[in-house]
Amino acid sequence: MQELTHWIDGKHVKGTSGRFTDVYNPATGEVQAKVPLATVEEMNDAVARAAEAQVKWGDTNPQRRARVMMKFGALINEHMDELAELVSREHGKTLPDGRGDVQRGLEVVEVCMGGPSLLKGEFTDAGGPGIDLYSMRQPLGVVAGITPFNFPAMIPLWKMAPALTCGNAMILKPSERCPSTALRLAELLQEAGLPDGVLQVVNGDKEAVDAILDNETIAGVGFVGSTPIAQYIYGRAASNGKRAQCFGGAKNHMIIMPDADMDKAADALVGAGFGAAGERCMAISVAVPVGQKTADTLIEKLLPRIEKLKVGPYTAGEDVDYGPVITQQAKQRILGLIDSGVEQGANLVVDGRDFSLQGYENGYFVGPSLFDNVTPDMDIYKEEIFGPVLSQVRTENYEDALKLTMDNPYGNGTAIFTADGDTARDFAHRVNVGMVGINFPIPVPLSYHTFGGWKKSAFGDLNQYGPDAFRFYTKTKTVTARWFSGIKEGGEFNFKAME
């Protein structure tokens, strides 16, 4: 069996802790690799080496750092299919979705190619008599990225590309469920010219994460994962004096107005609800039709589309719609939540619990499930299911639909489907959610905007990627400078003694 490594000082390094965790093939249930789990000492050693490497990297001019991103971007493109396959092999998502995972990360690398323009700083000419002020953006030093299983390429790239372009060294702690893509990206960064030690990939679990949070050299922590862990990491990092931005879970609502194009709304819901087996923080898990007729029509339109969904392993071809969920434990949790929905009185219109695939009986597949008449007190509404389960909550009018969305503790993404610009505009203006789609189901902003949720979907300030990332990964230093009048007043002909 393959034994994975850490990536330290530009080399693959075996773990020394003696602790490993299994990496599964979710489509078959087989263990395909084991990944080492770092000790506190291994983590601290990696950080100390990164701090040494950072000094020269931080002094390298921004354009040279950006050139590394240019080559890195070219290499990612060249290795797109290989990276997508790595993603799919450990995560289980389809190959087109694996390519999407790499592509949305690559787009952040592309913005970093122009990073110097975001690092320019500010200048005030003549802020007082003979006084100028200028503000510089300087790297934090060593920063850490802690990433989830569901986007093994995209989220590590969202962390490392801006952090490195800003002149920091980074410790990346990828998800122990899907660690291989991050290791491969580190090799490609080295090939692109990143000096050794500037990116260290340290694999591990809670012990490694806690070592990051307590390490005094690490100045900033960027986290993406579930809400309870995001809140924990934010609290511990902040109380140790670190800058932290921690992005958490979601429960994304899509409102369907009576005037919406119902075919387009149903297409959007099927893709956003079941794509990637619902394992996306921007998945739509709650459909909120306005009016009983809209709700009935929506169910009618959804049923044939759900029946047609093709669930299978990524190796079964490009027309597979979604693959298995990540672990046996995740599968059992999802099935348990579907049971609870039935017990608590929701109407299970499509039941995906008994789904089985010939030849893949040990894989973690869950068929698509659709609930109608879900109410906010039910567990299937309250919990982030992170599986292929769509819940319909019926509402009587727009205000009720908006209130439902706003009362939900999560605030990552939301969408409205309508033909009316006035309703769409009102929704975008009033809703307390960070990313809003209008006739657009998964509104992940382009890489030169920023990504971030509100409420329990994010802790800390500043979003991921775009200009916010450049603010997060740099600290501002402001200089107030005064130069006294001197030589420009005219030549001096006396032989002046030094004072």
Binding site for ligand NAD (CB under 6 A): 146-151, 173, 175-176, 205-206, 209, 224-226, 229, 247-250, 281, 384, 386, 412, 453, 457
Smaller CB distance to ligand NAD: residue 94 or 457?
457
Smaller CB distance to ligand NAD: residue 281 or 299?
281
Rounded to a whole number of angstroms, the minimum distance from the CB of residue 355 to ligand NAD is 22
Spatial CB neighbours of 446, under 8 Å, sequence gap ≥ 6: 107
Rounded to a whole number of angstroms, the minimum distance from the CB of residue 145 to ligand NAD is 9
Rounded to a whole number of angstroms, the minimum distance from the CB of residue 326 to ligand NAD is 7
Smaller CB distance to ligand NAD: residue 206 or 293?
206
Rounded to a whole number of angstroms, the minimum distance from the CB of residue 410 to ligand NAD is 9
Q: Is 281 a catalytic residue?
A: yes
Spatial CB neighbours of 42, under 8 Å, sequence gap ≥ 6: 6, 15, 16, 17, 202, 208
Rounded to a whole number of angstroms, the minimum distance from the CB of residue 408 to ligand NAD is 14
- Rounded to an integer, what distance in angstroms lies between the CA atom of residue 20 and that of residue 3? 9
- Rounded to an integer, what distance in angstroms lies between the CA atom of residue 380 and that of residue 378? 5
CA dihedral 100, 103, 107, 110 (to 10 degrees): 180
Smaller CB distance to ligand NAD: residue 177 or 394?
177
Q: Which of 310, 375, 317 is nearest to 346 (CA)?
A: 375
Rounded to a whole number of angstroms, the minimum distance from the CB of residue 134 to ligand NAD is 34
Q: How far is CA 64 from the centre of its chain?
A: 27
Catalytic site residue from 166, 178, 246, 281? 281
Smaller CB distance to ligand NAD: residue 115 or 148?
148
Is 360 within 8 Å of 313 (Cβ atoms)?
yes
Smaller CB distance to ligand NAD: residue 234 or 398?
234
113 phi and psi, to 5 degrees?
-60, -30
Rounded to a whole number of angstroms, the minimum distance from the CB of residue 279 to ligand NAD is 7
Q: 10 Å Cβ neighbour count for 143?
A: 29
Rounded to a whole number of angstroms, the minimum distance from the CB of residue 176 to ligand NAD is 5
Smaller CB distance to ligand NAD: residue 147 or 418?
147
Is 213 within 8 Å of 223 (Cβ atoms)?
no
Is 59 within 8 Å of 203 (Cβ atoms)?
no
Provide DSSP, 309-371.
--B--GGG-TT--B---S-HHHHHHHHHHHHHHHHTT-EEEE--TT---TT-TTS-----EEE
| Closest residue to ligand NAD using C-beta atoms | 225
Is 379 within 8 Å of 219 (Cβ atoms)?
no
Burial of residue 427, with CB atoms counted within 10 A of its CB: 0-12 exposed, 13-18 middle, 19 or more buried: buried
How far CA 472 is from CA of 219, 326, 465, in Å, comes to 11, 31, 9
Tokens 């200048």 identify what position?
123
| Element at 7 (helix H, strand E) | strand 6-8
Rounded to a whole number of angstroms, the minimum distance from the CB of residue 289 to ligand NAD is 24
Smaller CB distance to ligand NAD: residue 75 or 218?
218
What is the three-class DSSP state of 85? helix
Smaller CB distance to ligand NAD: residue 60 or 231?
231
Spatial CB neighbours of 56, under 8 Å, sequence gap ≥ 6: 195
Pairing of strands 122-128, 30-36: unpaired
Q: Which residues are catalytically annotated?
A: 281
